[in-house]
């Protein structure tokens, strides 16, 4: 019964994202615990095998609430999600190509160590008019310099999201450094976000990111493991020329008062952040330190968890 319960919780949770799951995905993303947002999820479920999940999906306890179509499992009455997911997968292919082209330019920038996608695109669940969430890792001690360079280049490429320009635009709302790879917020929503993260550039940093975050993610998803295989599609390879160009620009900046430039940019950017009314929006998550630059005035984690609880109460 505990395994069936957690399978049901998992399918219900992803129903909020309009995301039906295959049997393998149900196993990989099986929910176990949530220490930060309540105790509604069974905390005693250990890791399980795929065979156990497949068997449990056919149980009466699950079939009472869950249906299957074309290999996808979903909450009863939500069969339309299968077609929607297939369409969103097609939408995501086009957006990944855009993300790959942008990353192809970003890899030349000084101090850029990893570029990855998160959110609905990482799940391959993008709506037609949605944006592209980037997660950027920069060199320690150069986060403000790196952020400026990344923002300028994405803007020059005509792909930065701002104001009403959203569709197929890159949202630059999360920067960290390679010296601080562990995510600070470690709730259920974050576990979901970073279990889907897809690196476009900087696979070695991605591996270190996985090592830094796997323990707390497994508290929520006991079966999850970060991929050890380099993604074949959309991944931007590091070429010798790119390394040389990046190294030359980094050396020039460091030679020409790199620390002073960083401090000046830090002061200017923080002043701008503090002047922005969205920084103080209730429930928002905005952080501006030497290790993290996060701009989420309307984070979705709390809203998602509230919907999750409402669905559980409706059963």
Q: What is the 3-state secondary structure (H, E, C) of the chain?
A: CHHHHHHHHHHHHHHCCCCCECHHHHHHCCCCCCCCCCCCCCCCCCCCCHHHHHHHHCCHHHHCCEEEECCEEEECCCCHHHHHHHHHHHHHHHHHHHHHHHHHHHCCCCCEEEEEEEHHHHCCCCCCCCCEEEEEEECCCCHHHHHHHHHHHHHHCCCECECCECCCCEEEEEEEECCCCCCCCCCHHHHHHHHCCEEEECHHHHHHHHHHHHHHHHHHCCCCCCCCCCCCCCCCCCCHHHHHHHHHHHHHHHHCCHHHHHHHHHHHHHHHHHHCHHHHCCCCEEEECCCEEEEECCCCHHHHHHHHHHHHHHC
How confident is the model at residue 313, as a pLDDT? Answer: 86
Sign of the Cα torsion 127, 168, 111, 142 reads negative
What is the C-alpha to C-alpha distance for residues 221 and 210, in angstroms, rounded to an integer? 14
CB 179, CB 209: distance < 8 Å? no
How confident is the model at residue 268, as a pLDDT? Answer: 98
What is the C-alpha to C-alpha distance for residues 304 and 301, in angstroms, rounded to an integer? 5
Residues of the chain short of pLDDT 50, as ranges, are: 34-36, 38-40
How confident is the model at residue 38, as a pLDDT? Answer: 43
Q: What's the chain's length in residues?
A: 315
Sign of the Cα torsion 292, 147, 110, 203 reads positive
CB 286, CB 296: distance < 8 Å? yes
How confident is the model at residue 13, as a pLDDT? Answer: 96
CB 127, CB 118: distance < 8 Å? no
What is the C-alpha to C-alpha distance for residues 307 and 26, in angstroms, rounded to an integer? 20
How confident is the model at residue 109, as a pLDDT? Answer: 97
Instruction: Pull the structure tokens for residue 186.
Output: 């470690």
What is the C-alpha to C-alpha distance for residues 54 and 68, in angstroms, rounded to an integer? 12
How confident is the model at residue 23, as a pLDDT? Answer: 98
CB 17, CB 126: distance < 8 Å? no
How confident is the model at residue 39, as a pLDDT? Answer: 43
Q: What angle do CA 305, 306, 309 make, to 5 degrees?
A: 85
Nearest-CA neighbor of 146 among 202, 191, 196, 100? 202
**Strand 170-177 vs strand 132-138: parallel, antiparallel, or unpaired?**
parallel
Domains observed in the chain: 2-83 (1.10.10), 86-302 (no CATH)
pLDDT digits (tens, 9 = 90+) for 39-87: 445 555 568 899 999 999 999 999 999 999 999 999 999 999 999 999 9
How confident is the model at residue 228, as a pLDDT? Answer: 81
How confident is the model at residue 41, as a pLDDT? Answer: 52
CB 117, CB 132: distance < 8 Å? yes
How confident is the model at residue 36, as a pLDDT? Answer: 47
How confident is the model at residue 44, as a pLDDT? Answer: 52
């Amino acid at each position: 019964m505990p395994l069936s319960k957690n399978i049901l919780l998992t399918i219900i949770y992803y129903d909020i994202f309009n995301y039906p799951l295959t049997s393998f995905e149900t196993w990989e993303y099986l929910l176990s615990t949530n220490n930060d947002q309540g105790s509604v999820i069974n905390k005693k479920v250990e890791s399980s095998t795929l065979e156990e999940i497949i068997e449990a999906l056919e149980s009466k306890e699950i079939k009472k609430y869950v249906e299957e179509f074309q290999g996808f499992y979903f909450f009863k009455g939500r069969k339309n999600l299968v077609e929607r997911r297939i369409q969103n997968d097609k939408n995501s292919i086009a957006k990944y190509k855009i993300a790959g082209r942008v990353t192809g330019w970003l890899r030349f920038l000084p101090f850029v160590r990893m570029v990855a996608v998160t959110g609905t695109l990482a799940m391959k669940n993008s709506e037609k008019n949605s944006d592209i969430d980037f997660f950027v890792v920069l060199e320690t001690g150069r986060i403000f310099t790196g952020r400026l360079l990344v923002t300028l280049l994405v803007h020059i490429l005509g792909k930065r999201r701002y104001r009403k320009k959203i569709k197929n635009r890159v949202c630059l709302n999360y920067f960290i450094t390679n010296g601080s790879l562990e995510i600070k917020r470690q709730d259920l929503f974050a576990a979901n976000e970073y279990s889907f993260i897809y690196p476009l550039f900087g696979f070695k940093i991605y591996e270190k990111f996985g090592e830094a975050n796997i323990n707390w993610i497994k508290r929520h998803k006991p079966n999850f493991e970060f991929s050890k295989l380099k993604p074949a599609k959309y991944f931007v390879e590091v070429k010798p020329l790119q390394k040389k160009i990046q190294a030359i620009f980094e050396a020039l900046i460091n030679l020409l008062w790199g620390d002073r430039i960083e401090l000046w940019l830090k002061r200017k950017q923080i002043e701008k952040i503090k002047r922005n009314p969205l920084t103080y929006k209730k429930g928002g998550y905005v952080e501006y330190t030497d290790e993290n630059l996060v701009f989420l005035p309307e984070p979705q984690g709390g809203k998602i968890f509230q919907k999750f609880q409402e669905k559980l109460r409706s059963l």
